[in-house]
C-alpha cells in the first residue's frame, strides 16, 4: 500500500487529479491492510482536492470504521451521507449491522439464561440491531 500512496503523491505533484474511482481503489486497499486513521486521512485528502465521494466511498469508510469498532464515527458518516445526498444501500446497513453485532455494546441487547446460554435467536438479535440502526436515520 505504501507504493500506492506514493503513486497518489506523484499524481498530485504532477497536477493529475485522481477521480473517485482512483480514490476508492486506494481507500479499499487501505481498508484491508491499514489502520482506519490512514483510510480517514486519505478520505480527507480526497475531499480537500474536490473529489466528491460516492456510495462506494462511504461503504469503504464504514467498513474500516466498523472493523476498528468506531461505531460513533460510523454513525456520523451515515449522517454525512445524508448531508451529501448519498443514499445508503443494503451494503451500508449490512456493514453497520455487522459492526454493531461485533461490539461489546451488543451484549447490552442480548439475554442469557442462568446456565450462560444465549436466549435470543440470531434473527432476534439482527432484528434489534436493524431496528436500532434504522431508528438512527429518523
Residue ranges of the domains in the chain? 2-137
Domain 2-137 -> CATH class:
mainly alpha
Q: Residues 6 or more apart from 57 whose CB is under 8 A from it? A: 20, 23, 24, 27, 43, 46
Is the pLDDT at 135 greater than 80? The verdict is: no
pLDDT over 90, % of the chain: 50
Q: Kindly report, residue by residue over 8-65, the tens digit of the pLDDT.
A: 889 999 999 999 999 999 999 999 887 788 888 999 999 999 999 999 999 999 999 9
Alpha carbon distances (Å) from 61 to 88, 93, 107, 109, 136: 13, 13, 25, 26, 18
Q: Residues 6 or more apart from 17 whose CB is under 8 A from it? A: 11, 49, 50, 51
Which of the two residues, 92 and 129, has the higher pLDDT score? 92
Give the per-residue pLDDT at 36.
80
Give the per-residue pLDDT at 34.
79
CB 17 within 8 A of CB 51: yes
Backbone angles phi, psi at 118, to 5 degrees: -70, 135
Query: Mean pLDDT of all residues in the chain?
Result: 81
Amino acid at each position: 500500500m505504501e507504493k500506492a500512496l506514493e503513486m497518489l503523491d506523484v499524481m498530485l505533484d504532477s497536477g493529475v487529479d485522481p477521480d473517485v474511482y482512483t480514490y476508492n481503489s486506494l481507500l479499499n486497499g487501505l481498508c484491508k491492510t491499514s489502520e482506519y486513521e490512514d483510510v480517514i486521512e486519505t478520505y480527507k485528502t480526497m475531499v480537500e482536492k474536490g473529489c466528491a465521494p460516492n456510495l462506494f466511498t462511504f461503504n469503504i469508510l464504514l467498513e474500516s470504521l466498523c472493523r476498528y469498532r468506531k461505531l460513533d464515527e460510523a454513525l456520523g458518516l451515515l449522517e454525512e451521507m445524508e448531508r451529501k445526498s448519498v443514499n445508503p444501500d443494503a451494503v451500508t446497513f449490512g456493514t453497520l449491522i455487522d459492526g454493531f453485532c461485533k461490539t461489546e455494546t451488543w451484549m447490552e441487547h442480548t439475554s442469557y439464561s442462568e446456565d450462560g446460554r444465549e436466549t435470543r435467536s440470531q434473527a432476534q438479535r439482527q432484528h434489534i440491531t436493524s431496528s436500532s440502526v434504522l431508528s438512527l436515520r429518523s
